[in-house]
Chain A
Amino acid sequence: MSKKDILTFDGGIHPVSDGKALSCNAPITAAPLLDKYRVLLSENVGKLPKPVVKAGDLVKKYQLIAEADGFVSANLHSPTSGKVTGIVDVPGPMGTLIPAIEIEADGQDEPCEPMPAIDWHKADVKELLKRTADAGLVGMGGAAFPTHVKLSPPPDKTIDTLILNGAECEPYLTADHRLMLEQPERVLEGAAISAKILNVKNVYIGVEANKIDAIEALGRRAAEFGIKVATLKVQYPQGSEKQLIMAITGRKVPTGGLPMDAGCVVQNVGTAAAMTDAVCRGIPLVERVTTITGEVVKNPGNWLLKIGTPVIKAIEFAGGVTAEPGKLILGGPMMGFAQKSFEVPVAKNTSGILLLPVELSMNYGSTGCIRCGRCVEGCPMNLIPCLLGNAVEAERFDLAAQNHVMDCLECGSCAYVCPAHRPLVQHMRRAKAEIRKRKK
């Protein structure tokens, strides 16, 4: 492979140690059955679904337990068979208490009658979209945006490219890597179904060059589904939608716009795999591959976890911890969310459970900007993070808005490279929160 074939975008960083070696060779293992699951009603995007079960109801695995409320919302299904013990408030991934349906497992894990399988080659788009919504599919990469909404763009936007996101640029995470390596046909078939729904011919699957085995596994089967495998440079944040579109198609998403403004739809590989299950086997989304990793985890690995598994139990599957963890993060170390409770349940978008050791989660203090410009070079959105940081420190949020702070991805490249250790991402997040508050 020549250097020219490896695609990338401008800016970004190269993390020195990506921590993927901890778990990238661990095959996906199905997690043992627990006696209690708490399925969060909340998703990051959209309205909360309405529960359709009440305390005392007996449910089977795959049974609908909460119904989408409105278009931008997603169904929830029971991860196992058992009894609903009620709707309880549990700590959510963002630190607030959110309602969850608590299910006491009966140990049988007995599935209900599955939805009929659909032959997607013959089925029409409406039927496929309905199944996507019925199966409760959401984006499994991070934002948990309902997939049926993503796949039905407004009629005034022309979509000509579907990009499957298998970049997995976040350090430590290997869930998508293992999924592509072990079940390439599930990923590819899901991509082909999505392409049919969108009626596009150009389908790419973007994978970073550090996952050569996954690229080969996908490459062997990709042609029969009409999908092109794009090898991407190992560079963070390669897996961000806008950067991925830039790397693969060379198009730029306009400021404040969405991928569909550049004629693209980007979908996570996990979502594509779930799409195959939903359409070809009639199985709704109740489990996902999650990486449980970190230097203090005894046996880091990739697990097939049921939605609603408490994080503390998931860590026990991986053998527990070898030392006192400094921080618990859901997602990767760059863009994941720090947690204050180990009781938070695994949701449809929990791609990783990361336990960082104390020495990696310490604050070494920050000093003033030395005007080296490394953050400017690193910013994948071509912003000037040092200037934005100064504006926030002076509480000049108007100045930050003028300098496009709202385009910030919060990818953390600027803070990672800053030799003065300035907490730039946190400043950006504050600016965005303040600007949103003022717009209201």
Chain B
Amino acid sequence: MNTVVLIAVVLMAVLGLALGVVIGWFAKLFRVETDSRVELVTELLPGANCGGCGKAGCSDFAKSVVAGENPPSKCPVSSSEQISAIAMALGIDAGESFQQRAVVCCGGDMEQTKRLLNYNGVLDCVSASLVAGGPKGCSYGCLGMGTCAHHCPFGAIEMINNLAVVHRELCVGCGNCVAACPRGVIKLVPADADVHIYCNSPAKGAAKKQVCNVPCIGCRKCAKFAPDKFTVNGFLAAVNYQAEAFPTAEDVSAVGCPTGALLTVEEHLKIEQNEPEWSAGKK
């Protein structure tokens, strides 16, 4: 009995040793040369794999940083401390950091904008936009079925009353929602801009008013108030994001947008708590 156990133990030990040597030898033979710096940068990156930098994922981005194709600041998710940590580790320049945030340029939720079609198909904005151009009266506004929210890797988009709204503190500006939206209603804007025009329709003012309570009708009131901060193109105003200073909450109340398309980010989050004719109270 004892001999049997002894033979088994010795046999296994010898076998293990022999195979270990073989594996060790093969590991040396087929060793893949990796750049330790790539691994280091991958460790330092957030690991969200959001694609905001334009690369396939964080480790792909790390490769391009080490190769010098991209500066570390191209990562939209990392904070400035994290970026400088990467730059320090590699001994390179961090690059100019430009933080962006997504903004849904539409205030037309369930109450504010008419639905013309009794849509009962797949709850997905791309699918819905293929049926009669979408159920909404406005052909340019948010369809409100949450395709962008579904594609956001950071959970920064909330659907409130069939309108997508961006929580700025969660958004990193990776642009996944911009690519997902079939209407092109989501735009990337500088992170420190607080005020936006929440309308995306280039249609005529009267046509927009027929279907929506809160369109930009191109009245130029904002552009007259601050010509450097707002521009008007046709029937649609826009915040001038190239300007020195962005409009502030005080500017919004001073302009007194007659339809309520000019809002601060906080006001947009609360749009559903307002009365449908809320613009009337603001006048």
Q: Which of A's residues lie within 8 Å of B, judged by CB?
A: 89, 94-97, 326-327, 337-341, 361-363, 423, 426-427, 429-430, 433-434
Contact = CB atoms under 8 A, between A and B. Distances in A.
Interface residues of B, number: 19
Given A96-B133, A339-B117, A340-B117, 6 more contacts: A94-B132, A340-B116, A361-B118, A426-B122, A427-B127, A429-B127
B118 A326 contact: yes
Interface of B: 116-118, 120-122, 124, 126-127, 130-135, 137, 139, 203, 207
Contacts of B127: 423, 426-427, 429-430
A96 B139 contact: yes
A94 B129 CA distance: 10
Given A97-B203, A341-B116, A433 B121 contact: no
A371 B132 CA distance: 31
A92 to B, nearest CB: 9
A203 to B, nearest CB: 37
17 contacts: A89-B207, A95-B139, A96-B133, A96-B139, A97-B139, A337-B132, A338-B131, A339-B117, A340-B116, A340-B117, A340-B132, A341-B116, A363-B120, A423-B127, A426-B130, A429-B127, A430-B122
B132 A338 contact: yes
B42 to A, nearest CB: 26
Residue of A94, A97, A430, A434 with most chain B CB atoms under a 10 A cut-off:
A430
B118 A426 contact: no
B130 A340 contact: no
B201 to A, nearest CB: 11
Contacts of B132: 94-95, 337-340
Nearest to B126: A430
Contacts, number: 52
Contacts of B131: 95, 338, 426
Q: Classify the interface of chain A: helix, strand, loop or mixed.
A: mixed
Contacts of B130: 426, 429-430, 433
Top 9 closest pairs, chain A to chain B, by CB: A95-B133, A95-B132, A363-B120, A340-B116, A340-B117, A430-B127, A340-B132, A96-B133, A426-B122
Given A94-B133, A95-B132, A327 B118 contact: yes
A430 B130 CA distance: 7
B228 to A, nearest CB: 33
Contacts of A361: 118, 120
B108 to A, nearest CB: 15
Given A95-B134, A97-B203, A362 B139 contact: no
Residue of A97, A340, A363 with most chain B CB atoms under a 10 A cut-off:
A340
Nearest to B182: A433
Nearest to A342: B116
A433 B126 contact: yes
Contact of B121 (A95, A97, A426): A426
A341 B135 CA distance: 10
A95 B139 CA distance: 8
Contacts of B137: 340
Given A95-B139, A429-B127, A362 B120 contact: yes
Contacts of B203: 97
Contacts of B120: 361-363
A423 B118 contact: no
A226 B132 CA distance: 42
